[in-house]
A and B are shown apart, each in its own frame.
Chain A
Amino acid sequence: AQRVTQPEKLLSVFKGAPVELKCNYSYSGSPELFWYVQYSRQRLQLLLRHISRESIKGFTADLNKGETSFHLKKPFAQEEDSAMYYCALSSGTSYGKLTFGQGTILTVHP
């Protein structure tokens, strides 16, 4: 069975501080990992996917297969980054079926 764990339900940082949102997964095959962001109970928006290795809004994430992790990082947090962040995994059996973590609420204080 596949599982995604986001150990922090809440994370608070000050503006300009580095931020890291943790994500660990368990899956026996080769997963595809994503980060989604949700602002104030709006629609989920794709932030990052590991296969594209791009940086969006200053966020990056590296897939570490040895540690089965896909942590989201940003060197300097901004107030507009405050949102709910979900790590998600899709498997080779059905790429559209996403297994989400419980989410981390990030609050960036001024």
Chain B
Amino acid sequence: DSGVTQTPKHLITATGQRVTLRCSPRSGDLSVYWYQQSLDQGLQFLIQYYNGEERAKGNILERFSAQQFPDLHSELNLSSLELGDSALYFCASSGTGLHSGNTIYFGEGSWLTVV
């Protein structure tokens, strides 16, 4: 158990809908990351938050947004869902992510299926 918890584990929704994925980082970790794993794109970095503020952005679509709350948990919001958004969404956390030597711990992921 890495200590990073994600909910829900599985989610099936229809095209055009909106979903929210939730992540609780390991105790004490300030940085939270979101990654998308799909068959065609592989593992892709979406976004990083550090202590409530956006720190780095990757290939995140405009239909997607994230935030990190004062208690350091994070949510990834996916809207206007398309079939191609079906993927495994990982959350990860690390102490700071601001310097080398940080170990990044991954959660078990949230399986999203868009039908």
Interface SS of A by simple majority: loop
Annotate B89-115 by CB proximity to A: 1 below 8 A, 0 otherwise. Answer: 010101001111111111111000000
Output the least CB separation between A67 and chain B (Å).
Answer: 22
Interface SS of B by simple majority: strand
Contact (A45, B55) CB under 8 Å given A86-B43, A96-B33, A98-B45: no
Judging by beta carbons under 8 Å apart, are A44 and B56 in contact? no
Q: Bin the interface of chain B by size.
A: 20 to 34
A96 to B98 CA separation, bound complex (whole angstroms): 7
Judging by beta carbons under 8 Å apart, are B103 and A97 in contact? no
Residues in B with CB closer than 8 Å to A49 are 103
B74 within 8 A of A: no
Binds B, one of A10-18, A70-78, A99-107: A99-107
Q: Bin the interface of chain A by size.
A: 20 to 34
Judging by beta carbons under 8 Å apart, are A96 and B107 in contact? no
B31 within 8 A of A: yes
A32, A41, A45, A97: the one within 8 Å of B58 (CB):
A97
Query: Which chain A residue has the least Cβ–Cβ distance from B6?
Result: A43
A interface residues, Cβ below 8 angstroms from B: 32, 36, 41-46, 49, 51, 86, 90, 92-103
Output the least CB separation between B41 and chain A (Å).
Answer: 9
Judging by beta carbons under 8 Å apart, are A96 and B31 in contact? yes
Annotate B31-50 by CB proximity to A: 1 below 8 A, 0 otherwise. Answer: 10101000000111100101
Residues in A with CB closer than 8 Å to B50 are 96
A43, A86, A95, A102: the one within 8 Å of B102 (CB):
A95
Judging by beta carbons under 8 Å apart, are A95 and B108 in contact? no
Q: Can you list 22 contacts pairing A with B, beta carbon distance less than 8 Å?
A: A36-B106, A41-B109, A43-B2, A43-B4, A43-B106, A43-B108, A44-B90, A46-B105, A49-B103, A51-B100, A51-B101, A93-B56, A95-B99, A95-B100, A96-B48, A96-B92, A96-B97, A97-B48, A98-B35, A99-B45, A100-B44, A100-B45
